[in-house]
Chains A and B, each alone.
Chain A
Amino acid sequence: MRLWKALLVGTGLSLSAALAQTTITIATVNNPDMVTMQKLSGEFEKKYPDIKLNWVVLPENELRQKVTTDIATNAGSYDVLTIGTYETPIWGKNGWLVEMSGLPASYDLEDVLKPVRAGLSYQGKLYALPFYAESSMLYYRKDLFAAKKLAVPAQPTWTQAAAWAKQLHDPSKGVYGICLRGLPGWGENMAFLSTLVNTYGGRWFDENWKPQLTSPEWKRAISQYVELVTKYGPPGVTSNGFTENLTLMSEGKCAMWIDATVAAGYLANPKTSKVADKIGFAKAPVAVTPRGAHWLWSWALAIPKSSKKVDAAKTFIAWATSKEYIELVGNTQGWVSAPPGTRYSTYNNPNYQKAAPFAKVVLESINTADPTKPTLKPVPYTGVQFVGIPEFQAIGTQVGQFIAGIVAGKTSLDGGLNQAQTAVEKLMKEAGYLK
């Protein structure tokens, strides 16, 4: 009898505790900064004991699929989504996201970098708060460059970069001249290649949405890329994405790498990088025009309309993107690992300036990336390394495959680009942009 009573009381207690507590489900990417966020979630639960966090952490591609199908079918499995500057305006337009309004004064929205805020808005309404933001830049090995008496200016050109790659390529010693993304995908090789095409004066579409993939600018940019990765790149380029290149670079296998600025904190951290004290930082190289030579991206946290716990979700997002959180990461994980690119106050913080030798280049790159004027010639779209239309995932993925085919020698440069052009024209016709 007593046992029964104890059991009954026990279940009653745990039930009432469960009722008072809100559990929110957070879907996020398994990038190092998000893993840190998950590690620090105990601090949040300490501060807000009535909110419990439930994590779904996945690689970028899988997360994107889960989150997209979830929100498009209004399934409501998640309360907090990790999405980027590509998805946010499109989903905001579709009415799938809760507007980020009514934030507490202590949040200090004005402190958030302006281009990043603009990238996460649709028609002036903010639909997500940035967790970290990035542009792209050039990483190089100071020791290898010094050995060959090469100096890197603050703003290198692609001609220079190609010459350096040739001089520093030394596979017998396990060092490759240049590491670049080759893994097909709109967020993988096409992100980098879009910036390359931009700086060579090219564009995805003309003002009438006619694809431009067979233009001389595209041909010049892609042939430069193919030459670099096949002659001076590591073997297996077509399976190297951001993560694989990050590993290669931090293992000391690349003399140069052009990629996301968020890698800087990882490369400059002796705990995660074998060459932490030998990494130099410069702006992404330019060719014909500086326009669109480096991208603008932000991983941001948003709330789907289907969530039933909007308030708790908003509390969490405000915490994870706050000054207080950045401070917490700085103090517990080291300032070099603080989430970059989101707040002016981070860059004014002497602790961060001391720990992050790359801070200035990153801030300048983000501030000069303009998604509204991404190319030399006018375009009907916004986005530097993507085209801000729902169809771009399909377009980018297919073109990415064709370019990987060129790199692997399956098709010629002209053949591959012609196929890509035909595929994009077909997609654009079916989507109703072209008659």
Chain B
Amino acid sequence: MTHRSSLSKARPETIRPNTLWLLGPAMLVLIIWTQIPFLLTIYHSFRRFDLLNPERQGYVGFGNFVSLLTDSIFWTSIGNTLVLVGAVLVVTIVVGLFLALLFYQDFPGRALARTLVISPFFVMPVVSALIWKNMLMHPVYGLFAWAAQIFGQKPVDWLAAYPMQSIVAMVSWQWIPFALLLILTGLQSLSKEQLEAAKIDGASAWQEFRYIIVPHLAQTLSVVVMLETIFLLTIFAEIYASTSGGPGLATTTLPYLIYLKAFAEYRIGVAAAGAVFAVILANIVAIFVLRLIGRNLQATKGGMG
């Protein structure tokens, strides 16, 4: 009876019934699914847990964190991670923007071309890395080596001579379609009349791009930056399948370092500490990016108003 009275008292509740008991189980599964691994990671980051040495295990306080922070490899890996993310962001956005402007035009066979240009995004990272490594960049069997020889050049061992650049190329190749797709969608929401009006006023192509297209795309670009940053921070498969973090430490990023600690050295405690740092790093970057985007959005709003 209380049920009915409450219904009659507050109208909004009749429109929105209590759905917690429906959502609850799914929420519970989600929480278990995501939070228990995280809590376990934190637990292990405070323990010595060397898989191969069961005799030496137990609580070590901040030992694992200290071990990482005093390790020059850790700092190199953080630097590499930021370089990789930054470089890929720049390349994908510049090339993605350029391609999006191309694909925005009308030309015969556009639908097919659009489908084709998106396809790299659907290739599995490991597969794409192996193709780049063995079929394109290989100094003996690769396509690039073959092309170099045709022009009388010495073949380059890309992955050894330019490891980070090679990884950036691979990852960018995969993520350009993503940037392209989002930017293209952004462009399509731009009304053609605005562009026509600009043309009538005598705006050059550059002015059109600078003063109409770029401001219009500001929001889209912010979203691309944010989403890509989140995904790129965890890039692992390309490095695993092509350079294995080397040569030396040239392509050892934080995710790869965590993998090495866990599965090459079997030091689960140190790996867990690394994972905690990865979460912290992702949060710092996310806050930074979010703030940047927030400011951006406000700026565009102000401009419109």
Contact surface of A with B, Cβ cutoff 8 Å: 65, 68-69, 72-73, 90, 94, 183-184, 234-239, 253, 390-391, 393-394, 397-398, 401-402, 404-411, 416, 419, 422-423, 426, 430-432
Contacts and interface: CB of A to CB of B under 8 A. Distances in A.
Given A94-B54, A235-B139, A235-B155, A393 B266 contact: yes
Contacts, number: 102
Given A236-B140, A390-B52, A432-B56, A65 B260 contact: no
Contact of B140 (A94, A235, A390, A432): A235
B248 A408 contact: yes
Nearest to A90: B52
Contacts of A72: 51-52, 54, 266
B264 A404 contact: no
Interface stretch (B67-75, B171-179, B215-223, B294-302): B67-75
Interface of A (DSSP majority class): helix
Contacts of A402: 248
A416 B266 CA distance: 24
A404 B248 contact: yes
Contacts of B260: 397
Given A184-B244, A401-B249, A423 B263 contact: no
Interface stretch (B103-111, B121-129, B156-164, B192-200): B156-164
B246 A238 contact: yes
The 4 A-B residue pairs whose C-beta atoms are closest, nearest first, are: A405-B248, A394-B265, A408-B247, A235-B139
B246 A404 contact: yes
Interface string B230-249: 00000000000001111111
A72 B56 CA distance: 13
A137 B222 CA distance: 59
Nearest to B158: A236
B50 interface: yes
Given A408-B160, A432-B56, A65 B263 contact: yes
A221 B155 CA distance: 28
B47 interface: no
Contact of A408 (B133, B246, B266): B246
B250 A405 contact: yes
B249 A408 contact: no
B52 A401 contact: no
Interface of B: 50-54, 56, 67, 70-73, 133, 138-140, 155, 157, 159-161, 163, 243-250, 252, 260, 263-267
A65 B159 CA distance: 25
Nearest to A253: B140
A184 B246 contact: yes
Nearest to B264: A397
B53 A390 contact: yes
Contacts of A416: 248
A73 B265 CA distance: 15
A238 B160 contact: yes
Nearest to B133: A239
Contact of B245 (A94, A237, A401): A401
Contacts of B267: 394
B249 A405 contact: yes
A70 B92 CA distance: 40
Given A236-B140, A408-B161, A68 B266 contact: yes
Given A393-B266, A430-B67, A401 B157 contact: no
B266 A236 contact: no
A393 B161 contact: no
